[in-house]
Amino acid sequence: GVTNGLSTDPLTLPQWVLVQQQKEAPHARGNLSILLNAICVACKFVDSAVRKAGLSDLLGLAGTGNIQGEDQKKLDIVANEVFINVLRRSGQCSVLVSEEVDDEVIIEGGGEYSVVFDPLDGSSNIDCGVSIGTILGIYKKEKTEAPSVKNVLKSGRELVGAAYCLYGSSCSMVLSVGKQPAHFTLDPSLGEFVLTTPAMSVPEKGNIYSINEGNSVLWDTAVSRYVQECKNPSNGGSPKSLRYVGSMVADVHRTILYGGIFMYPADRKATKGKLRLLYEGNPMAYLVESAGGRAITHEGPVLDIVPASIHERCPIFLGSRIDIEELEAFLHAKA
Ligand code: AHM
Ligand code: MG
């Protein structure tokens, strides 16, 4: 109920998790619930660090690099440490893969779950106060499987859950464990994520395209022609609007809410695209598909790719079902 403009019946993320467990798996031991609650705590910690970054000397470079040869920002490192520590302490994980850590982290005697994550995505936006986010994918291993990198070198179809947290004008968590994603908004005064949309669905079609157009000289013919079609539809319809934040979480969140298409294609320079399959492409593809949208590479579904290594990249096009179908007509056309 809403009384005097206040929801007097808030459902917090930990409560939602418990309700789901009682509904879906009444005999489960609650290990996934413990893991999801741990993720929730880490996201709240990072949100709080992001909000006060300028005040507590957390902006700027840390003076180190990660395996991708990228400079690490101080907040990248803080976020990475928080997620590693909180996930390890949850007791539910045996393998962790982070964008910021070269090798997989194996936790001996940990639980059945493995988590792949980008602790703070959109680093180029940190220092100017533009939205950034965290992306996570969750796998479960067989009890007999030894903890190893093999637990996560699986296609995205094997994910048991995925989530992102957007540190934006408000802090949003979008989470799916096999069903349509649920959207939670952080109530800063409660310090709790409160359920704001129980089941999200991507509009069938949108009027926004989102791509780093600065790379257009490097695109292949299909992508160039499709983007031209977005700007100047051959049926004489209205052009799409261009929106590109440069933080995948923000661009994907908008795409799920408003519809349209987000693209990071392979190009002449980045021959496998830029985004990482395990902790960027797959979790987002899983969430978008769970919301009724689609996510593909130049060839087929992102979720069908079986990764060979933990930091590999993949091209990605995701969004509204009809927009992706229109793109496919260009991708499959003979040059
Ligand atoms: P990062 O992991 O170094 O932050 O890079 C990933 C980000 C994504 O959030 C975003 O979609 C993309 O890089 C933007 O790249 P570009 O600046 O090349 O457009
Ligand atoms: Mg990233």
For the chain, percent of residues with pLDDT exceeding 90: 82
Stretch 305-318: mean pLDDT, rounded?
Answer: 98
Ligand with an atom nearest the CA of residue 117: 2
Identify which of 219, 264, 311 to mutate to test ligand 1's pocket (most ligand atoms within 8 A of the CB).
Answer: 264
| Res 69 pLDDT > 70 | no
> Phi and psi for 24 in degrees, rounded to 5?
-90, -35
User: Residue 45 C-alpha to ligand 2 middle, in angstroms?
Assistant: 18
- Give the ipTM: 0.97
- What is the model's pLDDT at position 66? 63
| pLDDT bracket for residue 36 (50, 70, 90) | very high
- Which ligand 1 atom is the nearest neighbour of the CA of 250? 9
The tens digit of pLDDT for each residue in 175-195 reads: 999 999 999 999 999 999 999
- What is the model's pLDDT at position 71? 61
| pLDDT bracket for residue 63 (50, 70, 90) | low
Q: Which of 1-5, 133-137, 186-190 comes out lowest in average pLDDT?
A: 1-5
| Res 39 pLDDT > 90 | yes
Whole-structure pTM value: 0.95
Question: For 15, what's the count of Cα atoms within 13 Å in the CB-facing half-sphere?
Answer: 10
Ligand with an atom nearest the CA of residue 267: 1
DSSP character at residue 301: B
Tokens 């409160």 map to which residue?
Answer: 194
Q: Please list the residues that pair with 261 across neighbouring strands.
A: 209, 319
Neighbours of ion ligand 2 (CB under 5 A): 118, 121
